[in-house]
Amino acid sequence: MSDPWTFAITGASGAPYAVRLLEVLARAKLPVHLVVSGHGWRLLATEAGISSEPELKQVTGGDWSSIRVFDDGDRGAIPASGSAKSAGMVICPCSMGTVAAVAHGTSRSLVERAADVALKERRSLILVPRETPLSLIHLRNLTAATEAGATVIPAAPGFYNKPASIDDLVDFVVQRVLDHMGLAADLVPRWDGGN
């Protein structure tokens, strides 16, 4: 079995990205350590009508046999340790507050500590920010996180595949995240040179 990915959901707008990514990972039976921040739960309730773990499980396919949930307040949980096996971490969506914490290594929560661990252990860390416009502080924090080893994939869908629905736009971003996780999936048509 492959090493688990840590998947965190924080409070930036973009719940559909998080829900779809979790659905794909659950259906693929990929080992996942899931952490949802308090603001992440508020986001899920506000944007997706999901207010509990059972509801999140249901909308992402119902089979969480490969998913283990951790409390964001537990900084001693498995994802907080560099000695624990991990393929890397994805934060989707990633709030600008979380970007700042990652960029400066504050580690005040399990999400922040797990991201700090991914960077220090030279593991993949994928941040999916959804904010506009970006202030100079945001840009500097994104730059610092990138310089430390993170990959920033803004939740900015492309339009060359002629999306016909919001789901198509969501899948475009989720596909890019999956690509950087090294996972095979074809959720949307790929660029073919404009042919």
pLDDT of residue 195: 65
CB 86 within 8 A of CB 70: no
pLDDT in tens, 101-137: 999 999 999 999 999 999 999 999 999 999 999 999 9
High-pLDDT (> 90) share of the chain, %: 91
CATH topology of domain 5-181: Rossmann fold (3.40.50)
Tell me the pLDDT band of 191, cut-offs 50, 70 and 90. Answer: confident
pLDDT of residue 190: 84
pLDDT of residue 102: 98
76 exposure class (CB count in 10 Å sphere: 0-12, 13-18, 19+): exposed
Mean pLDDT of 186-195: 81
pLDDT of residue 96: 97
- 């016909």: which residue's tokens? 164
23 pLDDT more than 90: yes
What sections of 60-165 are H helices per DSSP? 96-104, 110-120, 136-147
12 pLDDT more than 90: no
pLDDT of residue 173: 97
CB 45 within 8 A of CB 51: yes
CA-to-CA separations, 57 to 68, 77, 104, 185, in angstroms, rounded:
11, 21, 33, 21
pLDDT of residue 192: 81
pLDDT in tens, 55-87: 999 999 999 999 999 999 999 999 999 999 999
Indicate the average pLDDT of the chain.
96
pLDDT of residue 40: 98
Instruction: State the pTM of this model.
Output: 0.96
CA-to-CA separations, 161 to 108, 169, 170, 176, 182, in angstroms, rounded:
40, 10, 13, 14, 22
pLDDT of residue 189: 83
Nearby residues of 123 by Cβ (< 8 Å), 6 or more positions away: 86, 87, 88, 89, 117
Domain map (residue ranges) of the chain: 5-181
DSSP string, 29-88: T--EEEEE-HHHHHHHHHHH---SHHHHHHHTTS--TTEEEEETT-TTSGGG-TTS--SE
Tell me the pLDDT band of 181, cut-offs 50, 70 and 90. Answer: very high
